[in-house]
Every structure is written in structure tokens, then in C-alpha cells.
Amino acid sequence: MSSVSFDDSFITRVYTDPAPTLASYDSLWKEEVFTLVSDWHRYSGTPLDHAAIKAHLTALTDQGEEERNTHPVVRLRDRIMARAPTFQVEVFPRIAPLLPPETPIEATATLVALIVPGAFCAAGRIVVNLSHPQFLEAGEDLILNIVAHELYHFGFHSHQDTGSGTPPDATPRQLADHVLWWLQNEGMATYASYNLTDIYPAHDAAPDYTMLENPADIRRLTGNVNEVLAAVSTQPRDALRETLWTKGVRERAFYVVGAHMARTIDRERGRETLIALIHEGPRSYAEAYNTLAPRDMKVNL
């Protein structure tokens, strides 16, 4: 049985009375969700700006109760929580067919604010930053679409999680398999959430989906993927990590190309084959796609 709960306690605490959080700011970073935020910053190489977060808390403290209660973050939280029960019913029947049968998914979507990342998943949590400018502008449909994307990751990881890290003495082939794991992992999740845009429309706010519908973008981003794969044999680990993060994540190559690969296999070889490739692994995923792809859109193995 799959389930997802929505935890809005941080939003309630901070937007009701931010003063205690500001006064005990250091203890905030001992809470589980904020240790995950710290981990995200370390992994992405993005500096954690405590001064900026304290400034946001100070600004909220200076606001009156009514202003905080009607803050755009609070209004967005309210709309998400109102749709949470329906989301539970809608999402799992749509993502389950893209996973092996009887794959359980259990997660908590934790709604926070004042941080840098928009959303990420770790340790059974989906952390969603409601103060992210993209979310405030686009609204709850985009957020629910992203939560669906992250929920898919939990199901995928229950079958295949070995590619998320590499040993210090990894060989070029192991590093290439790590890149291919990113491609399958993010690609399958993007394909799952793309197939939910009829319920949670996100094209205007999520460039991944627009690029997925443009062959020129897919071809261009396939070049990104192949650039990362070439770098496993030429770059030191720190440089490779930056190339992977820039070309694959920030520029969205893993998401768009990986989803195109999933869609191609699904259409040409069938759903059963696509699901079987979750067990067979990322290299088999890329090999299966390459048998179907034109020469200028193949992944270089």
C-alpha cells in the first residue's frame, strides 16, 4: 500500500510566530529536514547562506500577524493542503504502472520555506520550498507535479539505488555507469511526472516538458550527456562532479534525454520491457534505447 503525507508544521510555526525560530536558529539545523537541506548544499556545491535565511526570518518577525497569515507562502500552503487528500487518490494509480508490480511507496512531503533548493527527496522525505520564486509564481499544480516526480524516485530506488554513489577508486566504467544511473533514474521519474500533466499542468513553468517535446532540444541535450560520459575518462573527480551537475542537472540533460529514452522504449518495445530495464540496470537501459535511436541521438557507451 502506497501513501504520502503532507507535513506543513514548519510553515505553521514560522509564519505564526517566527521569533522563537530566529532566537534558536542554530537548533533549527539539528532538525532532520534541515540536516537534509545541509546535505543538499554539500552535494550540489551551493553555499548555504545563513545570513540570508536569518534576514528572511527577521523580516517575517517585523510583519504583523495578519500580514504573515495572508503571506503568499501561507496561501500556497493552504491550497496544497486542500488538495492533498485528492492527490493521494490520483497519483499512485498513474505512477505505479511505470514500476515493477506491488512496488510500495511511502513518503512525507515536508513543506518548508526560506531555503535555496526548490524540491528534493532524501531519507523518506520530499522537501518542498514554498518560498521558491518559481513555485510562488506557478502555484500548486507545479508543486504537486514535482511531488509526483519525487515519489516515483522512492519507488525506483527500492529496486535500484546502487548508482547514487561511487567509490573513491572507481574505474571509468563505474563512473560511466554512475552517469547512466542518473540518466535512467531522473529520466524515468520525469517520464512519470510528464504523464501527469493532464492533472497537474506544468508546461508553462517546467521547461523539461517543453524540451521533451522538441527534437532539437533532445538532440542538443544528448550532446550534454555524451560530454559527461566522455569526461569520466579525462577529468579528475572534482571536475567530473561539476560537469555532471552542470550539464546533467542544471541544464536538465539527464531529465529530458532520460525521459525521451523511456518514452521511446515504452512506445517501441512496450511497457513490460521498460519495467524490466529497471531491474536490468542503467547500462541495459541505454543499450536498449540505442537500438531504437537515430545515430545523432544515441548515447555514447
Strands 106-112 and 3-7: parallel
The pTM assigned to this predicted structure is: 0.92
- Please name the helix (run of DSSP H) or strand (run of DSSP E) that holds residue 34, with its range, or none: helix 32-44
How high is the pLDDT of residue 122? 86
157, 191, 221 - which closes a domain? 157
Strands 119-122 and 3-7: unpaired
Look at residue 221 and tell me whether its pLDDT is greater than 90. yes
* 12/150 same-domain check: yes
pLDDT digit string (tens) for 117-165? 999 888 889 999 999 999 999 999 999 999 999 999 999 999 987 666 6
Q: Which domain holds residue 82?
A: 3-157
pLDDT digit string (tens) for 32-59? 999 999 999 988 888 999 999 999 999 9
Query: b/e map of 10-47 (b: 16 or more CB within 10 Å)?
Result: bbeebbeebeebbeeeeebeeeebbebbeebeeeeeee
* 175/151 same-domain check: no
pLDDT digit string (tens) for 180-210? 999 999 999 999 999 999 999 988 888 999 9
Nearest residue to 279 (alpha-carbon basis) of 145, 161, 173, 186: 161
* 9/51 same-domain check: yes
CB-CB neighbours of 239 under 10 Å: 11
* 73/185 same-domain check: no
Strands 106-112 and 119-122: unpaired
Q: Name the burial class of residue 291, with classes exposed (0-12), middle (13-18) and buried (19+) by CB atoms within 10 angstroms of its CB.
A: exposed
* 91/144 same-domain check: yes
How high is the pLDDT of residue 163? 61
How high is the pLDDT of residue 169? 82
114, 137, 157 - which closes a domain? 157
* 21/148 same-domain check: yes
Count up the domains in the chain and report the number.
2
* 138/175 same-domain check: no
What is the rounded average pLDDT of the residues 163-190? Answer: 89
| Percent of the chain residues topping a pLDDT of 90 | 89
Look at residue 216 and tell me whether its pLDDT is greater than 90. yes
CA distance 116 to 40: 10
* 118/181 same-domain check: no
125, 157, 189 - which closes a domain? 157
| Percent of the chain residues topping a pLDDT of 70 | 99
3-state secondary structure labels for all residues of 142-158: HHHHHHHHHHHHHHHHC
pLDDT digit string (tens) for 283-296? 999 999 999 999 99
What is the rounded average pLDDT of the residues 86-93? Answer: 94
* 236/110 same-domain check: no
What is the rounded average pLDDT of the residues 66-77? Answer: 97
